Amino acid sequence: MPGLYLEPTGFLYGEIARQAIAAGEALPLAGSPRIAFSAARLQEGGPGGIRNIFLRASALPQLSEPRVKALLARIIEPRADIAGVPMDGPRIMGILNVTPDSFSDGGDHFATDAALAHAADLVRHGTDFIDVGGESTRPGSDPVDVEEEVRRILPVLEGLAAWQTPVSVDTRRPEVMRAVAGARLDIINDVSALTFSSDSLSTAAELCKPVVLMHAQGDPKTMQDAPSYADVVTEVFDWLEARIEAAVAAGIDRAKIVADPGIGFGKTLAHNAALLRSIALFHGLGVPLLVGTSRKRSLQRVAAAELPGDIDAASVAAALDAASRGVQIVRMHNVEATAQALAVWRWLNGSNP
């Protein structure tokens, strides 16, 4: 039933979470015993007429409305591993841009040797995934053709062929997906959520790899011109829910799908803030969540920083907030700082594996 959304709140961690679950006072988030939620916000209606009902987690299993029961089941069910990496706690996806024009590190790792050296640094500092991209999708960027995108990333993927760390390829083109699959492709990370081409869904299904479906309003070239939503949170949720169903209908295993609300992709500062504040609502999609806020312009504005590379501390702060709300993957440039911050967060919350 459209117009109903369930957002877990009142998060508990570690031993406190385990005790609250055992006492029936909290429910496990995404099947993990290390994070639980003790309450939830039930949102009824849509833009222009929203009513919020706040409930204890212990009361949720007694609710009989089918849509609410379905959302609750999705929120609490365990998430499958993604490319062999358990989704039972926050994981890091390290960014490796093999481009001359990405917004914060364009050209830094354009040469294959430099890219592989940076990949080694990402692994040494604790990344769980390496995300390789050959096309900048920053606001205002121009597209590159298939041949150029493959030329940029294929040597890097070949260099990563024997590495143990799973490799994600950040591309929206099915031709690129096919071209690199023989070298190294563990995850497809598509900013268009497999809508860029009529062959995208069938290609992803054929390759049988996990896929990240990201929301974006408009094309990278123009997406920040005048993004508009009546209610950004519910509209992005509905869109991602529909894309997940389209992927499943095309033959993609639901257990291999990750959802990304697309921070900064066709969103204003206020839109991004609303999505991050309500990111836990997206657990109702029933798949692992990925959030990418690293060095985004919104954080740059909030932090009043001159350059994207100056806001790693702000990026880590946003990642920790997402992790505290149960987000399974944070996509980051500065993996070392993120890994250190998450280690301290886990220690303080008693949520170590």
Active-site residues, by number, are 296, 331
DSSP 124: H
Residue 58 CA to residue 40 CA, distance in Å, equals: 10
Helix, strand, coil in percent for the chain, rounding step 5 = 40, 20, 40
Torsion sign (Cα): 222, 225, 227, 228:
negative
Which pairing describes strands 4-13 and 167-170: parallel, antiparallel, or unpaired?
unpaired
Cβ-Cβ contacts under 8 Å for 164 (sequence gap 6 or more): none
Q: Name residue 40's beta-bridge partners.
A: 8, 55
3-state secondary structure 2-46: CCEEEEEEEEEEHHHHHHHHHCCCCEEECCEEEEEEEEEEEEECC
CB atoms within 10 A of CB 179: 21
Considering only CA atoms, which of 82, 94, 96 is closest in space to residue 209? 82
As a dihedral over the C-alpha atoms of residue 4, residue 49, residue 324, residue 58, rounded to 10 degrees, the angle is: -50
At residue 119, φ and ψ (nearest 5 deg) are: -60, -40
> What value does the CA radius of gyration of the chain take, rounded to a whole number of Å?
20
Contact 345, 339 (CB under 8 A): no
- Tracing tokens 């257990």 back to the chain, one arrives at 255
Report the SS3 class of residue 152. Answer: helix
